[in-house]
Structure 1
Amino acid sequence: MFNLTPTVRNLLIVNVAFFLAQMSLLPLITQVGSLYAIGSPYFYPWQFFTYMFLHGGWGHLISNMFGLISFGPLLEQRWGPARFLTFWMICGVGAGLLYEGVRSYELYKVEQARQEFHQSPSGADFANFFRDYFPEAMGYETLAAALQRNPQNQEYIDAATAAIDGAVTSTRDSRNSGMLGASGALFGILFAFAYLFPNTELMLLFFPFPIKAKYFVFLYSLYELYKGVHRTPGDNVAHFAHLGGLLIGFIILRFWERDREKFY
């Protein structure tokens, strides 16, 4: 069914091997290799490279590897193994860097809101903090209402401050806050496929009729942008890493196009 080229096959083997190691042989790999926020006690610089070889479950792994073996071989045949691997790695690392930039900005906004609450605590600001930054949180409304009715109550102020501090710390320093997966690199591959083979018709499992690659990637990009901007409670997908892979893929292809004879 799939005509696996050498680099695609090797990437598939490496990703499966790392996942098996995560699950059974050395679970610590997940913590050491996932990409954590800069400033987290679990962050290490090599994570910009290692995160793309780790996955959060069988479904996560299979979906990424299915995309790799579906779209990768044709690109490797066009570019050759060395250029294909270079493209994959740069897209993966670049996606991690851009995702980290977005996450750092988000954490900066959360920290700023925390400091503002420390300086001037109120029930309304307490409720708005969780509503804006932790919409999945539950139970804060009761304390917010109590603090709003009794703004000078030190017990309420201390409890609200502790709740906000705990939420911020757990977001930045939690062992479960690392980002992992090959999706950033894969989205670079998706963009390259649509860029080089725009009119190739794809038959997707979740789409009832064929769709050209260029339209599929365009619609998928819009979906990722919407989901990244309008985060819903419980959504732990790194949408901006996906968009980062797309952007890096675009930049690389535009750069390579300067030397069209070698590119094509």
Structure 2
Amino acid sequence: MNKASLINRRFRDGTYKNFTLKLVVLNALVYLLTAYIYPRSAYYLAMIPSFVLGGYVWQPFTYMFVHGGFNHLLFNMLSLFIFGSMVEKRIGSKEFLLFYLLAGLFSGIVSFISYYLAGTNVILVGASGAIYAVLLMFAVFYPYSVIFVFGFIPVRAPILVILYAIIELSSQVFGRGGNVAHLTHLSGLVFAYLYCRIRMRINPIEVFKRTL
């Protein structure tokens, strides 16, 4: 029995609840709330280190549902819907939801600790940390898939993940990228790697080596 069959047997419960689409809808609703209905709510839901220290302990979780603009929301939700749907079908809806939420929480906590130690007070929003985690999981389960970057540049999924990791790491180390939360993205990749190794019992590096 191959690894994929073992994973299906261990984690799938036979029902597909399409949590990916539900997460997309939830993010869209939160965007409407924070951008149009009650903009002040963004300060309660986004991750702001000084607010977390002041008692808003839920922010390292809720920040992943808040977005800084329509384009930010659109890009993240397209990525979530495309890659998340495939991952959810492979590992099961409940397992996918657990993975996604824990990835976002892990990225939020790591980011908070980093900002706190650096004495930096920022406003962190976006699902990118969790989505980077989903992208790595997608590359592990569909390593031969080709993703068209900018709509016309074909790149194999594992290669794209490796390139993203290099870009995010170099940007974090050398301070490039402006307002982009590179550490949050890296945290998502690290979490997905650990999740695959510990819970899925798959080594992403070995998968990439065999398929590249």
TM-score, normalised with respect to structure 2:
0.82
Q: Is the 8 A contact 2:60 2:112 kept in 1?
A: no
Report the Cα offset of residue 256 of structure 1.
Answer: 1.7
1:220 to 164, 173, 179: 164
Stretches of structure 2 lacking an aligned partner (at least 5 in a row):
1-15, 203-212
- The structure with the largest alpha-carbon Rg is 1
CA distance in 1, matches of 2:47, 2:77: 20
TM-score by structure 1 length?
0.66
Where does residue 106 of structure 1 map in the other structure? 118
Equivalent position to 2:184, from 214, 222, 241: 241
The letter of the residue matching 1:66 is: L
Residue number in structure 2 paired with 1:55: 67
Structure-2 residue corresponding to 1:74: 86
Rounded Cα–Cα distance in structure 1 between residues aligned with 2:27 and 2:200: 30
The DSSP-based 3-state class of the residue aligned with 1:237 is coil
Q: What one-letter code is carried by the residue in structure 2 that aligns with 1:209?
A: I
The alpha-carbon distance between structure 1 residues 186 and 231, as it changes in their structure 2 partners (threshold 3 A), is same
Amino acid at match of 1:28: R
Q: Which residue of 2 aligns with 1:204?
A: 149
Stretches of structure 1 that go unaligned for 5 or more consecutive residues are 108-170, 260-264
- Secondary structure of the 1:44 match is coil
**Superposition RMSD on alpha carbons, in Å?**
2.1
Does residue 254 in structure 1 map to residue 208 in structure 2?
no
Against the structure 1 CA distance between its residues 78 and 229, is the aligned structure 2 distance closer, same or farther, given a 3 Å change threshold?
same
Map residues 90-105 of structure 1 onto 2, 5 A cutoff. 90-105=102-117
Aligned counterpart, 1:140: none
Moved over 4 A (4+): 38-43
